[in-house]
Amino acid sequence: MDLDLKKSTALEIAKAIQERKLSSPEVTRAYLDAAKADFEKAPGDTTKINAYASLGEEAAMAQAQAAQKRIDAGEAPSPLAGVPVALKDIICTTEGTTTASSKILTGFRAPYDAGVVDRMRAAGLVFLGKTNMDEFAMGSSTETSHLGITRNPWDTARVPGGSSGGSAAAVAAGLAPFALGSDTGGSIRQPCALTNLTGVKPTYGSVSRYGLMAYGSSLDQIGPMAKDAADAAALLAVISGKDERDSTSVMEKPFDFSDINMKEIKIGIPRNYFGMPGLADDVKACVLGAAETFRALGAKAIDIDLPLIDYAVPTYLIIACAEASSNLSRYDGVKYGYRSPDAADIHDVYYKTRSEGFGTEVKRRIILGSFVLSSGYFDAYYKKALQVRGLIRAAFDKALEGCDMILSPATPTVAFEIGGKIQDPIAMYLADIYTTSVNLTGLPGLAAPCGFGEGGLPVGMQLIGRAWEDGRLLSAVKAYQGATDFHKRWPA
Ligand code: GLN
């Protein structure tokens, strides 16, 4: 088989490995070489995608050889055995570093593997390295990384989205067949939408958070970022499942990825989502076009009410920042990574380490989170946000009584320019208008390609489903991708 790094899907690669047309070390080497060529470009080089935070060359080749041995012995551990994958720099592995792309975790080596890593090792997947991200997953553009910005392979003057922008850029640029991201308020879906990929924020509790550095614990989920729905499903099947080490892991039975009859599917279209002031015409047209395609496939597309969208971003920010302010208190210069070299006493260690180790956006969120949790403001902000969260969940549950899935834009615009929003946090936060409520509800949401807008840049739709129906969402997209070819286009 000819290995086209950009176009080959993970499942195609897996099949070629099983049929002995390619070997795992061969494939791994090819992706590592491509990733390395980009990684070694100078920081100022505007052709540098900067998808990776670190590469694990030696470990990857050893894993590939081990996987190949098992395959050659006729004991392929899973359908994805021998296929390489990239991991967001927030998912702990015992080899290499895991730094959340933050200065404060410079050089940090995790003492244990994340739950998803255990599962991927058992399945025989090979880890290429860690992908760049917004520091501690706080951002929508991968511009807050301590390791420099990541560029969008579709237009290197634009952002790849965030916070899992490195994972998205790696897959879109052919530097990994697929990748894992994490999604607290849209960090898988938004970068997938901006780089023409298919990605899932799974039902809360289906994928272990053990070994995922915590941002907003009640919102965080790890999920796949892939070239199509079939690849995303294959990877989600590997990483999902109960893990005793995560007390919020509650999955009872595996997802059902079997094909669905689109004639039995009712798709709800929240009209108000399409009347939002920030929604660009090109995005709106592509997503409404997707509704037509679903109709042509036999689905019913109906208008629905889905109130409270204006509250999604503020509610999300209050809750996410509150949780982050607590989660990030562990980075104190004593236990992990960076310690300020010129601290005089223990208080100075805390103060200077955190002042020097965290970037502006992270500090802003810690301050905001501490504020909404502080006595006197707790009732007005944090408690109120929890109440609104309950209302948002109820609104989604009610909407999903009348339909099987909800179709919306994933993002209000196509990829924006580097530097375009980073000075204006409110504008940046509003880019998450369509994704944040899904995390507040715990429901599954995915993003998938549905056309091209301004400047030929990709547009993504979002599909939101009932809890535990992640498989059905992906099957609907599989049907859609059988009838369209947007997902088969690659950046030049
Ligand atoms: N972009 C959102 C934020 O800035 C979501 C981040 C995420 O999902 N990790 O918080």
Q: Is the pLDDT of residue 409 over 90?
A: yes
Active site residue 163: yes
Q: Return the pLDDT at 2.
A: 77
Q: Is the pLDDT of residue 1 over 80?
A: no
Task: Give the number of the atom of ligand 1 that is nearest the alpha carbon of residue 140.
Answer: 1
Active-site residue, from 48, 78, 88, 437: 88
Q: How far is the CA of 429 from the centre of ligand 1 (A)?
A: 8
Q: How far is the CA of 190 from the centre of ligand 1 (A)?
A: 9
Phi and psi for 36 in degrees, rounded to 5?
-65, -40
pLDDT digits (tens, 9 = 90+) for 470-484: 999 999 999 999 999
Pocket of ligand 1 (CB under 6 A): 137-140, 163, 183-187, 215, 320, 432
| Closest to 129 (Cα-Cα) out of 83, 189, 161, 176 | 176
pLDDT band per the 50, 70, 90 thresholds, residue 184: very high
Active site residue 187: yes
Burial 310-347 (b: 16+ CB within 10 A, else e): ebbbebbbbbbbbbbbbbbeebbbeebbbbbeebeeee
CATH topology of domain 10-261+446-488: Amidase signature (AS) enzymes (3.90.1300)
User: Helical H runs in 244-308?
Assistant: 281-296
Q: Which residue has the tokens 């002042």?
A: 355
Mean pLDDT of 409-429: 96
Mean pLDDT of 92-120: 97
pLDDT digits (tens, 9 = 90+) for 345-395: 999 999 999 999 999 999 999 999 999 999 999 999 999 999 999 999 999
pLDDT digits (tens, 9 = 90+) for 243-257: 999 999 999 999 999
pTM summary value: 0.98
Q: What ranges do the domains of the chain cover?
A: 10-261+446-488
pLDDT band per the 50, 70, 90 thresholds, residue 399: very high
What does pLDDT average to over the chain? 97
Q: How far is the CA of 412 from the centre of ligand 1 (A)?
A: 15
pLDDT band per the 50, 70, 90 thresholds, residue 76: confident
Q: Is the pLDDT of residue 421 over 80?
A: yes
d(CA 108, CA 93): 11
pLDDT digits (tens, 9 = 90+) for 257-289: 999 999 999 999 999 999 999 999 999 999 999
pLDDT band per the 50, 70, 90 thresholds, residue 322: very high
pLDDT band per the 50, 70, 90 thresholds, residue 300: very high
Task: Give the number of the atom of ligand 1 that is nearest the alpha carbon of residue 139.
Answer: 4
Residues 6 or more apart whose Cβ sits within 8 Å of residue 28: 60, 61, 63, 64, 84, 126, 128
d(CA 449, CA 480): 10
Residues found in the chain: 492
Q: Return the pLDDT at 26.
A: 97
Active-site residue, from 24, 163, 249, 475: 163
Mean pLDDT of 130-150: 98
